[in-house]
Copies of this chain bind each other. A is one copy, B any other.
């Protein structure tokens, strides 16, 4: 198809966004009227979360459109996973400097990948002229009263995560240094983890009946563990020796891998707490070995980082993080 030199807003929406993702019986009206109209199934609550990414702040200028679209949607969906919600539909506010046909085509394909995989239609939004900014609102359904929150952790709970930690943070370090097209295998793996995080929707649904508290790790393990600690009015103890690290991260960063796992953001893995009994049940079903126990909920406040705590009564105290404003103690 020849590239139209300049698309109107209506043409742009028609070509790239209308009908993006599969049809859903819950969507009465999609793109094309003043509002989208949705029916929430009986007995379900609606979960919603908005996420914004700005060029030059959340991704590098000139980053590939398909990758940033996929990443932005995955990051937003991660909030649905953290609540144990089933994705239902999403909206997009796309601000862009010009209506570049090729860029838009790749951008919409990036969204489409996840939209089709998760039966997650685009139902509305806005397109405007301005500095490249992507705001997505994702919506999902949970059974009424069965939503996972940050505030439900119980004293004695196991603390666990999905996947591996620190990969995306290490990818960002790579992106700021080298040409991403020419990097060895480990770097490619980390970059893939950065650009194409897996929304842990399946795990969120699995955890819904078992976990007491859950959050997605977007700001880094310590910062997000702090949110659970604060909202649950308890302490989250993390054992450094137990953090799940990818081979790629270890080979790229060596001793620094732990620091990326603790503080690197953008992993979009889930951090959750549950009773020991439920944990045993979860582990039995975990054929992919996606879940790793990394600590315990205890009386107190903030995040306590230890070494060897799992294998002895106390372990060596490494740090106590009381608020997200800073470390109280680090040695």
Contacts and interface: CB of A to CB of B under 8 A. Distances in A.
Contacts of A130: 54-57, 131, 133
Interface string A317-330: 00000001100000
A95 interface: yes
Interface stretch (A31-39, A170-178, A281-289): A31-39
Contacts of A125: 50
A149 interface: yes
A79 B216 contact: no
Interface in A6-41: 8, 10, 28-29, 32-40
B95 A128 contact: no
Contacts of A140: 35
A95 B51 CA distance: 11
Residue from A29, A34, A54 with most neighbouring chain B CB atoms (10 Å)? A34
Contacts of A142: 37
Residue in A28, A35, A126, A216 with the greatest tally of chain B CB atoms within 10 Å = A35
A296 interface: no
A45 B49 contact: no
Interface string A78-103: 11101101000001110100000000
Q: Copies of this chain, how many? A: 2
A83 B45 contact: no
A36 B52 contact: no
Interface in A119-144: 123-126, 128-131, 133, 135, 137, 140, 142, 144
A215 interface: yes
A78 B78 CA distance: 31
Given A8-B325, A130-B133, A324-B10, A124 B50 contact: yes
10 contacts: A8-B325, A28-B147, A34-B83, A34-B214, A35-B82, A37-B47, A37-B83, A52-B95, A126-B135, A130-B131
Given A37-B47, A50-B125, A51-B93, 17 more contacts: A10-B324, A34-B83, A35-B48, A35-B82, A35-B85, A46-B46, A48-B123, A49-B124, A50-B91, A52-B128, A54-B95, A54-B129, A54-B131, A91-B137, A93-B135, A130-B131, A133-B135
Interface of A: 8, 10, 28-29, 32-40, 42, 45-58, 78-80, 82-83, 85, 91-93, 95, 123-126, 128-131, 133, 135, 137, 140, 142, 144, 147, 149-151, 214-216, 231, 324-325
